[in-house]
Structure 1
């Protein structure tokens, strides 16, 4: 069954040689091979203003520069988010983007005396994270707290579930066969639309 997939490339560096870009490309290629419809969102190319007040978060519209990204996410059946681990969590650019598009009226709706309604329910997500440390150390020693906060505090809060993780460690020293294995895995995940 064909799916609508929003692929968010979250590495802040626009350098085309970044592994995150190659991973997003491989996922996209696999998804298209399988007949899925993909929408690419490259955060390094977007103007993403910072939100500074609760009033702006709750009342201002999503900036025009991010309206296509917002529309791709709300139309998607599945969201893929690819980024490098920086200081134990997502880069600031990814957080700024999520604050802009995961706002009231788009991703959730306040309800009087109830928990917010999850406007993105029915969607799933894959979070792909590259890191310099071993992925197992990040999970076990550090508890993957940054990813847990993303999953529970943002994605599940707006109704996106299940959320699956792909953690790739020791990327700076990875040789070509290892990189090829990662890219093949992403292409396969893209084909499956998961």
Structure 2
């Protein structure tokens, strides 16, 4: 049976053509070649409100996000891809995750009040593009955005294993360098497509 892969495209600009889009396309191509069924949720194309209260979070998801929530439930594997903005993920992607990884979708609760994972038996890859060297982000800045997404949300929801791919020095990488990086990311998509 084909693996269902959902790409969550976290670039907040609705105009396509950014590096995150090209990388997601390369990954999708590789995953399809590997036999996976691939869908993409373009967060920037969705119309939804930001959460402003606990009541909003515990209530029903906006109608506009119901198809995305079904895609999240159906997926076996996720690719979350976004540019590093001010050291973290763009606010629109964070708002999307708050709206969709809500109680009754990605989280339930045990009688003692502990979160109950709602996305067990799913895996993920996080890909982040950035202007700085990836090593500087990882070691000097402690990769805090990556670790927060991985530890404070995805693992809490039962998603594992979680792998990561960091694309640093995006402005300094020439055309030949990007051809190699795109080919390598397509190969990662092929590997992630394996059951």
User: Which of the five TM-score ranges fits, normalised by the shorter chain?
Assistant: over 0.9
What residue number does 2:33 align with?
Answer: 33
User: What residue in structure 2 maps to residue 141 of structure 1?
Assistant: 140
Q: Provide structure 2 residue ranges, at least 5 long, that are not aligned to the other structure.
A: none
Q: Distance in 2 between matches of 1:117 and 1:123?
A: 15
Superposition pairs of residues 153-172 of structure 1, within 5 angstroms: 153-172=152-171
Do 1:121 and 1:159's aligned partners in 2 also have CA atoms closer than 8 Å? yes
- What secondary structure does 1:69 align onto? helix
How many residue pairs get aligned? The number is 193
Alpha-carbon shift at residue 114 of structure 1 (Å): 4.7
Q: Structure 1 residue 177 and structure 2 residue 176: aligned? A: yes
Whole-angstrom CA distance in 2 between matches of 1:119 and 1:182: 34
Unaligned runs of 5+ in 1: none
Q: Can you list the C-alpha shifts for 1:108-144, whole angstroms capped at 9, x where unaligned?
A: 1012215221010110000000000000000010100
The 4+ residue runs of structure 1 with deviation greater than 6 A are none
Distance 2:140 2:38 in 1: 35
Alignment of 1:65-76 (within 5 A): 65-76=64-75
1:47 counterpart residue number: 47
RMSD of Structure 2 on Structure 1 (CA): 1.2
Matched position secondary structure for 1:171: coil
For 2:17, the equivalent position in structure 1 comes to: 17
Aligned counterpart, 1:56: 56
1:86-105 map, 5 Å: 86-105=85-104
Would the aligned equivalents of 1:3 and 1:193 in 2 still touch at CA under 8 Å? Answer: no
Q: TM-score, normalization: structure 1?
A: 0.96
Q: State the SS of the aligned residue for 2:17.
A: coil
Q: Name the SS for the 1:38 alignment partner.
A: strand
SS at match of 2:171: helix
